[in-house]
Structure 1
Amino acid sequence: MKTSIFPQCLFESEEDYYKLTIIVPVYNEADNLIRLEKELLEYLKIASIPTKVLLVNDGSSDNSQQLIDAICYRNAAFSYILFDKNNGLSAALKAGFDVVNTELTGYIDADLQTSPNDFNLLLEHINDNELVTGVRANRKDSFVKNMSSKIANGIRRAFTHDGMDDTGCPLKIIRTCYAKNIPMFKGLHRFLPAMVLLQNGRVKQIPVQHFPRIAGEAKYGLWNRLLGPLLDCFAYLWMKKKYINYSIERTSE
């Protein structure tokens, strides 16, 4: 039986009550999902605004979906999307952006190398910004992973001029109307701040906690962290040149 930690019956609809949806892409994270459920439930109790969770199963080949089914069955604030095959992180985020019906959208990875509790830190700044992203302080990754990420972030900054130190940090809050206007393509999850800036939005980065992965396997190797993002930068430049952005001064109505 589903249980809810919020008195949702006091509101006319779910959309009237919840203000933030946290998207969690899942790909072969069976070893992390019970811990993920526990930590997200703890966060929902202290969240500064009413929050729900959307798990996006990116075609996992382990028993992640069985666990997701159970999690969503027993928790009213949890729901899921299941892909028929693995499509990648950008597709998982795009699917989440498409269905979210709350004013704000959050993003966190299922491996819990960042803490859901830090969403409250980001929320402190969302009133003055369209996207607030974490910056992983004192990263607990390997030397190779840290160096490849620093190089990749430097390359992206040179191409996008977004001023972001850690675009790959898997802890973000974005205004949903901006998220839905992002023309996602494979690899564009690395350019979310730049895509908000293209919409004349405001972005801010806030230091957040970082933890070592304690279960499951990392999904990205050196190619994904370094060479792949370099190629994505050229795709971003092409898209930026073609991007349509306008504002209407007035209409006849």
Structure 2
Amino acid sequence: MDYTFTIIVPVYNEEDNLERVEQELLSYTKIATRITKILFVNDGSSDGSQSLIEAICKRQDHFSYILFAENRGLSAAIKAGFDYVDTELVGYIDSDLQTAPEDFNKLLEHVGDYDLVTGVRADRKDKFVKNMSSKIANNIRRAFTNDGMDDTGCPLKVIKTAYAKRIPMFKGLHRFLPAMILLQNGKVIQIPVQHFPRMAGTAKFGLWNRLFGPLMDCFAYLWMKKKYINYTVSKTSA
């Protein structure tokens, strides 16, 4: 099958969510505006996630997986997905399914004109502390990057794969994906998407990695921006 869109699903100890993830994403592949496949990236889960992932991939032709030897973090999982993707477009959704796969179609409407399309979580269903820490972190990041994005932590994105593969990833960079596309002279846009409470499992981020961690990452981004190499080839004999 000529797939044109791959959805990366990072997984870390999400055994309680995975059967729902299978059903939701399988349903989405039937209404997707692009021929879509799913790539689980198991970030070294210590629960029963891997056995569930293997069972899902065995019964679903559109699904495949990568298993890390040890836990390396969300940015590493996304980076691995980018490395393995072979389709024109790549998407990303969290395995907690607090965003809706069908909203990928809203984002895909804009990939002709834009190189990254990110969701903005409308009417967020998280607790007050999580909402406020995310809002503060986004304000800090936007001041550093000038990317114009209100919610880079939204786990629903579509990127042209050629741009995604050129992103020099580091820990925490999943918050800076629009800024990294802008460094490549790409175009980005944000589109409102649905948001839901977590139905099962536990959140993997606390106050530190929602607020203080991103602040430190901003300085890493500024260093990278200063050192970033970007070029355009005007002619070649090849």
Alpha-carbon shift at residue 94 of structure 1 (Å) = 0.5
Paired position in structure 2 for 1:129:
114
2:200 corresponds to: 215
Runs of 5+ unmatched residues, structure 2: none
Q: What residue number does 1:65 align with? A: 50
CA distance in 2, matches of 1:129, 1:252: 30
3-state SS of 1:31 partner:
coil
The number of residue pairs the alignment matches comes to: 238
In structure 2, what is the Cα distance between the partners aligned to 1:241 and 1:232? 14
> TM-score, normalised to structure 1's length?
0.93
Stretches of 4+ moved more than 2 A in 1? none
Aligned to 1:32: 17
Instruction: Determine whether 1:156 maps to 2:141.
Output: yes
Report the secondary structure of 2:112's partner residue. Answer: helix
1:192 corresponds to:
177
1:23 aligns with 2:8: yes
Alignment partner, residue 31 of structure 2 = 46
Residue 3 (structure 1) aligns with: none
Instruction: Select the residue among 138, 148, 165 that pairs with 2:123.
Output: 138
Q: How far off is 1:153 after superposition?
A: 0.2
In the TM superposition, residue 178 of structure 1 has moved relative to its aligned partner by 0.3
| Whole-angstrom CA distance in 1 between matches of 2:204 and 2:101 | 20
Residue 76 in structure 1 maps to residue 80 in structure 2: no
The alignment status of 1:203 with 2:192, answered yes or no, reads no
Secondary structure, counterpart of 1:55 in structure 2: strand
Over the matched positions of the two proteins, sequence identity in percent amounts to: 76
The whole-number CA distance in structure 2 between the counterparts of 1:99 and 1:220 is: 26
The Cα shift of 1:252 comes to: 3.9
Instruction: Supply the distance in 2 between the matched residues of 1:252 and 1:185 (Cα, whole angstroms).
Output: 34
Equivalent-residue separation in structure 2 for 1:245 and 1:168 (angstroms): 25
Aligned partner of 1:179 among 127, 143, 164? 164
- Separation in structure 1 between the aligned mates of residue 165 and residue 145 of structure 2, nearest angstrom: 20
Cα offset, 1:250, TM superposition: 1.7
Q: Which amino acid letter does the alignment assign opposite residue 160 of structure 1? A: T
SS at match of 1:127: coil
User: How far apart are residue 251 of structure 1 and its match?
Assistant: 2.5
Letter of the 2:164 counterpart: A
5+ residue gaps, structure 1, are 1-7, 9-16
1: CA distance, partners of 2:20 / 2:37: 17
What RMSD over aligned residues (CA atoms) do the two structures have, in Å? 0.6
